[in-house]
Amino acid sequence: MRSTAGAAILGVLAACAVAPVTSPPQTSAARAAGSAARPAQDAATSAGANILQTRSRWVPSAWTDLPGWSGDRPSELWPALLRGCDRPAPGWAVLCAQARAAVASGNSLGDDATRAWLESRLQPYRVEALDGAPEGLVTGYFEPLVEASRTARAGFRYALHAPPADLGNRVPYWSRQQLETLPAAQAGLRGRELAYIADPLDVLLLQVQGSGRLNIVGADGRRTLVRIAYAGHNDMPYQSVGRWLVEQGELRSGEASWPAIRQWAKNNPKRVNELLWANPRVVFFREEPLPDPQLGPRGAMDVPLTPQRSVAVDPQSIPYGTALWLDTTEPLSNTPLRRVVMAQDTGSAIIGAVRADFFWGWGDEAEVQAGRMKQALRMWALWPKT
């Protein structure tokens, strides 16, 4: 489970709890006849044939239709593509074998060579809604990096918890406010503390994202970097604190960014609990080692995410493991953001035909970019030819 900073601020929680879609796309004819779908790679050979997904329609396109296709750095896609090939989408087995062979050969696949390699093996399809709408929305998410302590001490007093032993005995489980105020609710958390952090808003941020990195500072000053991953939640509905601030008249809707929420909390310290309790959902974690800090968290496809080359999608529109071309803009500079990425994650907020959540990575810059990203999007699916 993970969610999006930009989306969560504006009122939605993305949760990687959707099972991978293993059925291939359907052609228009197959869906209309109610028959079993042919594999997408077979459908692609039908001249002019659209491909229907449950929530989208794919329209065959030319490579020249992709805005900015010649200006990307497609060689940067290889790590994400190869990780996706660990769990290839239906129809991708042959291409994945070719990708591994290309890398194993030791040939240097630069941008031009990679672009030619993709063009020779993939067919682009414009992704649109079933009503023909070609535009949608892209938001951003990231993996927070937070200072932490193994024990509660000055400056570190807000706990992250493993799932309570009695989590399944009460559905829904205690709310956020109850867990912080009721002795009976707090009893279930006792002994389940994984680490303590300094800012309660960072607790919320980690829960919204569903995973994160902890830079644990020991009593001797030594630091250990670990990852915490989603391990469950209290089965309470998610409520956006950004939306709550807008409804309270504290922020205008266009101002509900993560930096603005932090500034409001700084200006209103006596109302921070009120802000946090507006969201009753609590996420619990498990700790994982982080042997390679260059690997992102595992997405819904169960492969590590690659910064700025992995995205979350609606699996009813885009099967996991699909290559995509994004046409959007940077959240801060508003300059074009056009690149090839892999669909490797999802979330309950990521719903719709032309809908993506862009994984920015980790660190301060990733947080800033993700927290402000809410851009118009056009998208093309790149599917293997036969």
Q: Where in the chain is the domain with CATH 2.40.40.10?
A: 5-140+300-384
Six-digit token string for 14? 């993305």
Note the pLDDT of residue 48. 63
Span 142-288 CATH architecture:
Beta Barrel (2.40)
What pLDDT is stored for residue 267 in this prediction? Answer: 97
Binned average pLDDT, 10 residues per bin, the chain of 386 residues: 44 34 34 32 52 96 97 96 95 95 83 95 97 96 94 94 95 97 96 97 92 88 90 93 95 84 95 97 93 89 96 97 97 93 91 97 90 94 92
**What are φ and ψ of residue 218, in 5° steps?**
-80, 170
Q: What is the DSSP string of 16-81?
A: S-SPPP-SPPEEHHHHHHTPPPPPHHHHTTSTT--EE-SS-EEEE--GGGSTTGGGS-GGGGHHHH
131/185 Cα distance (integer angstroms) = 48
Tokens of 331: 């959240």
10 Å Cβ neighbour count for 304? 19
DSSP secondary structure letters along 334-369: --EEEEEEEEEE--TT--SSSEEEEEEEESHHHHHH
- The confidence score (pLDDT) of residue 20 equals 32
Query: Which DSSP letter does residue 253 get?
Result: G
| Pairing relationship of beta strands 158-161 and 211-217 according to DSSP bridges | unpaired
CA 338 to chain centre: 18
Q: Rounded distance, CA 231 to CA 241, Å?
A: 22
- Nearest partner of 119 among 48, 62, 60, judged by Cα: 62
Separation between Cα atoms, residue 63 and residue 66, nearest integer Å: 6
Helix (H) or strand (E) run with residue 201 in it: helix 200-209
CA torsion 267→269→271→277, rounded to 10°?
120
56 in Cβ contact with 130 (< 8 Å): yes
Structural element, H or E, at residue 314: none
Q: How many angstroms separate the CA atoms of 341 and 76, rounded?
A: 9
Nearest to residue 352, comparing CAs of 1, 12, 5, 9? 12
Q: Which residue has the tokens 């009893």?
A: 187
pLDDT at residue number 108: 66
| 224 strand-pairing partners | 216
Tokens of 324: 């995509």
**Which run of H or E residues covers position 247?**
helix 241-247
Instruction: Classify the phi-psi angles of 232: left when phi > 0, otherwise alpha if psi is within -120 to 50, otherwise beta.
Output: left
Q: At what angle do helices 258-267 and 200-209 cross, to 10 degrees?
A: 160
The pair phi, psi for residue 38, each rounded to 5°, is: -80, 155
| Residue carrying structure tokens 């805005």 | 67
Domain spanning 5-140+300-384: which CATH class is it, in words?
mainly beta
List of residues 6+ apart from 103 with CB closer than 8 A: 78, 82, 109
For the chain, the helix, strand and coil percentages under 3-state DSSP, each to the nearest 5: 30, 25, 40
- DSSP conformation letters of 260-281: HHHHHHHH-GGGHHHHHHT---
- Predicted confidence at residue 347, as pLDDT, reads 82
Write out pLDDT tens, residues 23-64. Answer: 333 333 332 333 223 334 334 444 468 999 999 999 999 999
303 Cβ contact list (under 8 Å, min separation 6): 83, 84, 86, 87, 344
Residue 180 CA to residue 153 CA, distance in Å, equals 18
**Region(s) of the chain under CATH 2.40.240.50:** 142-288
